[in-house]
Homo-oligomer: A and B are copies of this chain.
Amino acid sequence: MKYLNQQEAISVDEELFNEYKFSVDQLMELAGLSCAHAIADAYSPDSLRSNKVLICCGPGNNGGDGLVAARHLSLMSFVPYVYYPKRTDKQLFKNLQHQAESMGITVSVDCPAGEWVEAEFGLIVDALFGFSFKPPVRESFRPIMEVLQKTKLPIVSVDIPSGWDVELGPQTDCDIKPDCLISLTAPKLCAKHLVNAKHYLGGRFVPGKLEEKYAMNLPAYKGRDLFVKLC
């Protein structure tokens, strides 16, 4: 299986929208759903101290995946709580937030305090920054990054562990250490730097021709599964 560099990840994404004419609504729904499924596979609610999940959503599409995952997790055995501080004017994101809130999920702009997070939640989902991230982390996200760096709770990162270089992986010793990474479409190079972490592939929508063009060599999805457990 190939690990994509940052430019390849950006190009694959652009082709899905421009050549294959997928809408962001469609692919974000499928990506977020596959994240929810991978999380439900990796963490049975019994295996966690609490079924409450803190989902940290960034300003871009990675955050959108998190909002979708929150909604689907709420339809399974989890109780999501969303931290979503930096909102956009895009209608899709407003709608995703509205959908989550209408389904009883709290979506907050206030950075949760570290002690409260440790006491309240069983799992953290990191949907802050995705494959287009370039360091450094901007000032307003430093507080939540510090919570993620210091937590003892398991962290599931969506596509990229936030703060990591998309190709080179962690940049300092205090970078976050996800317990699980869900790579979407195909893994990016930083995934080679995972240590003692579960690794899933999600986003079962890649056209065969696109997979070939980028020589992705993806593993086969089994049956109806929306994810592949890589390790």
Contacts and interface: CB of A to CB of B under 8 A. Distances in A.
Report copies per complex: 2
Given A205-B75, A221-B75, A95 B41 contact: no
A20 interface: yes
A136 B36 CA distance: 43
B25 A23 contact: yes
A98 B208 contact: no
B95 A37 contact: no
Contacts of A76: 223-224
Interface in A60-94: 71, 75-76, 92, 94
Nearest to A204: B75
A140 interface: no
A23 B104 contact: no
A94 B19 CA distance: 13
B29 A95 contact: no
Interface string A5-38: 0000000000000011111011001100100110
A95 B23 contact: yes
B20 A98 contact: yes
Contacts of A75: 204-205, 221
27 contacts: A20-B98, A20-B99, A20-B102, A20-B103, A21-B94, A21-B98, A21-B99, A21-B102, A22-B99, A23-B95, A25-B26, A25-B29, A26-B26, A29-B29, A29-B30, A30-B33, A33-B33, A40-B224, A75-B204, A76-B223, A76-B224, A102-B209, A103-B208, A103-B209, A104-B208, A104-B209, A224-B226
